Amino acid sequence: MVSDESTIAIPQLIYEAVSRGKREWEQTFDSIPDLIFITDTNHTISRANRAMAKYCGVRPEELPGRKCYEVFHNLSSPPSYCPLQSLKEGGASQAEEVEVGNLCGFFDISVSPLYNEEGTLVACVHVARDVTERKKAHEYRLELEQQLLQAQKLESLGVLTGGIAHDFNNILMIILGHCTLAKDNEASAQIIKHLDQIETAGSRAADLCRQMLTYAGKAPLVQSQIDLTALVRDMAQMLQPAFNKKVAIQCDFGAGLPKLTCDEAKIQQIVMNLVVNAAEALGEQGGEVKVTLSQKTVRKAEQKADCFGNRIPPGAYLCLEVADTGCGMDQETQKRIFEPFFSTKFTGRGLGLSAISGIIKSHDGALQLRSTPGEGTTFSVYFPLPPCAPPAHEDAPSTYLAPEAAARLQGTILLVDDEEELRAVGSELLASMGFSVIAAKNGSEALATWQERKREIDLVLMDLTMPELDGVETYRALRRDARSLPVLFCSGYGDQDIRPCIGEDAHAGFISKPYRLDQLQKALATLWRKG
């Protein structure tokens, strides 16, 4: 027989086990970091864990009795999407990512049914996991990928544009060179008139090529120190009469701004394009274009980025801002405005903003863009300033000789170019100036010719991009043998690739294709005198 004491002990043990299990369940329920709450079939919360209460900013005992859609969504009735309704209709457990405005974040929410012994739905268990940081990280990664793709796209367009401009410049050199030779060959007045028209059209094409090279960041810079305040003020005064009378240009310039070392003509192009675009964005209704100049410092902790996603290096900058109160731009338009020939205007064409990005890049600057549809647009251009602004310097004395003096020069020029047509027209142009010409089709042939006839050669006129040995490699080989031999580079690209190579070499120079006869005379005369 079982004693009375044993009979009493068994229920006590069961009670203690149940109590212990309940405590452990409650401790587990409250220790889970996810938000857990149980609701009945009327959306009323019957129980919630500590994490849920903490997120809602209340005590756990304050949540039971409240509606879940009130707590989570701050709504007075269930939202259009309601997992409870689906479960009532026999649907399976559901999980979905939901933005919860009331809790300021994104949550992965799963809803599971609870049934009684008869299989009737009596409650639902909601488990919500905060995925806001994961969501932000995912969106940030997608944004970076988009920025990378856009940067790669623009870089590819830049390479393509630069290559087209280079090849087209070579073609223009042939056309304009033959025009010059034809006019000097006792042509009739009527023929000269036609040749002038060809030259004018060729010059316009050359200007377009320069814009293309500017977009590609390969246009040569003519550096000088300028007062940006005076330049912007003059540009604004010049442009104001050309706009609708309802368009007002307001200028706000900081005091004591330092001078900027830059290419003045290209900075004028930036100011003109930004101000004109801002005025056109105002349309017929008019508005205000505000142009601001200030000195700004970008600090390491700020992590500022330009409109292409590139980090703006810390340092001092002269900042030009052009803001309008016009129509603004959506995100899709903002992604495309720096593409060549893209325009939001029906008749728009050209390389306005795409050329601007190339100019800013060539000045080691940065460009920011802020725009909202219906609220206007602001462009901010950052021009880097040196730690200590250098004093203004006077221009170096010119070594230019008049064309007549250059034409009287006699000597032998080694002309190096890989294109036969360019060698032909170049030889004739040089011969018309009184020089003897030796032609070579690449760097290897030029070096061989130099070794054979170095006593005859007075100057080398050489293309920069050639097969076998390019201009830079040929120049270095020549310098090992003749340190003071005058070398004049020419290229359909800019001079940024050759300038670091020639450095302070007074016996080396550069001329851009296509060049006019007087420009070639000036460049040759300068090197001839130094040689």
The pLDDT of residue 254 is 86
pLDDT at residue 446 tops 50? yes
CB 243 within 8 A of CB 279: yes
DSSP letter (8 states) at residue 259: P
Mean pLDDT of 259-288: 85
The pLDDT of residue 119 is 77
* From 30-39, 183-192, 390-399, the region with the lowest mean pLDDT: 390-399
pLDDT at residue 204 tops 90? no
Q: What is the CATH number of domain 32-130?
A: 3.30.450.20
Instruction: For residue 292, name the pLDDT band (cuts at 50, 70, 90).
Output: very high
| b/e sequence 165-197, b meaning 16+ C-beta within 10 Å | bbebbbbbbbbbbbbbbeeeeeeeeeeeeebee
* Helix locations, 98-249, DSSP H: 132-183, 189-215, 228-239
Cis check for the bond before 514: say yes or no (omega within 30 of 0): yes
The pLDDT of residue 382 is 94
pLDDT at residue 135 tops 90? no
Residue in 460, 457, 433 with CA at minimum distance from that of residue 522: 433
Mean pLDDT of 307-326: 88
CB-hemisphere CA count at 13 Å for 314? 5
Instruction: For residue 218, name the pLDDT band (cuts at 50, 70, 90).
Output: low
Determine the distance from the C-alpha atom of residue 104 to the mean position of all C-alpha atoms in its chain, rounded to a whole number: 33
pLDDT at residue 488 tops 70? yes
Residue-wise pLDDT for 242-258, tens only, equals: 787 888 889 999 888 89
Mean pLDDT of 319-328: 90
Three-state DSSP class for 219? coil
Computed over every residue of the chain, the mean pLDDT equals: 77
Residue 105 β-bridge partners = 100
Mean pLDDT of 266-280: 85
The pLDDT of residue 345 is 55
| Angstrom distances, CA of residue 465 to CA of 392, 439, 472 | 36, 16, 9
CB 111 within 8 A of CB 124: yes
Beta strands in 214-286 (DSSP E): 223-226, 247-253, 260-263
Q: What single letter denotes the amino acid at residue 456?
A: E
The pLDDT of residue 397 is 36
The pLDDT of residue 381 is 93
The pLDDT of residue 390 is 40
Instruction: For residue 20, name the pLDDT band (cuts at 50, 70, 90).
Output: confident
CB 210 within 8 A of CB 247: no
Whole-structure pTM value = 0.44
Instruction: For residue 351, name the pLDDT band (cuts at 50, 70, 90).
Output: very low
The pLDDT of residue 48 is 85
Residue in 355, 17, 383 with CA at minimum distance from that of residue 209: 355
Q: 132-183 and 189-215 helices cross at what angle (nearest 10)?
A: 160
| Domain 403-530 in this protein, CATH class | alpha beta
Instruction: For residue 221, name the pLDDT band (cuts at 50, 70, 90).
Output: low
Spell out the domain ranges in the chain.
1-26, 32-130, 146-215, 223-384, 403-530
pLDDT at residue 46 tops 80? yes
The pLDDT of residue 60 is 78
Three-state DSSP class for 487? strand
pLDDT at residue 350 tops 60? no
Q: What single letter denotes the amino acid at residue 388?
A: C
* From 128-132, 310-314, 490-494, the region with the lowest mean pLDDT: 490-494
Decide whether 32-130 matches 223-384 in CATH topology.
no
The pLDDT of residue 347 is 38
Three-state DSSP class for 51? helix
Residue-wise pLDDT for 384-443, tens only, equals: 987 654 433 333 333 333 344 444 467 899 999 988 888 888 888 888 888 899 999 999
* Percent of the chain as helix, strand, coil, to the nearest 5: 45, 25, 30
Residue in 254, 203, 207, 250 with CA at minimum distance from that of residue 228: 254
Three-state DSSP class for 501? helix
Handedness of CA 522, 526, 529, 531 (dihedral sign): negative
Greater pLDDT, 118 or 346: 118
Strand order in the sheet with 287-298: 247-253, 287-298, 315-324, 376-384, 366-372
Percent of the chain clearing pLDDT 70 (strictly above): 75
DSSP letter (8 states) at residue 70: H
CA–CA separation, 53 and 60 (whole Å)? 5
pLDDT at residue 473 tops 50? yes
* From 321-330, 345-354, 393-402, the region with the lowest mean pLDDT: 393-402
The pLDDT of residue 467 is 80
pLDDT at residue 146 tops 60? yes
Mean pLDDT of 215-230: 72
CA–CA separation, 513 and 531 (whole Å)? 23
pLDDT at residue 513 tops 90? no
CA–CA separation, 363 and 261 (whole Å)? 9
Greater pLDDT, 171 or 290: 290
Percent of the chain clearing pLDDT 90 (strictly above): 10
Q: What single letter denotes the amino acid at residue 332?
A: E
Structure tokens at 388: 């200590």
pLDDT at residue 268 tops 70? yes
CA–CA separation, 268 and 234 (whole Å)? 10
Instruction: For residue 136, name the pLDDT band (cuts at 50, 70, 90).
Output: confident
For 318, the enclosing helix (H) or strand (E) is strand 315-324
> What is the chain's Cα-based Rg?
37
Q: Does domain 223-384 have CATH number 1.10.760.10?
A: no
| Angstrom distances, CA of residue 342 to CA of 278, 337, 346, 351, 466 | 16, 6, 11, 8, 33
Instruction: For residue 148, name the pLDDT band (cuts at 50, 70, 90).
Output: low
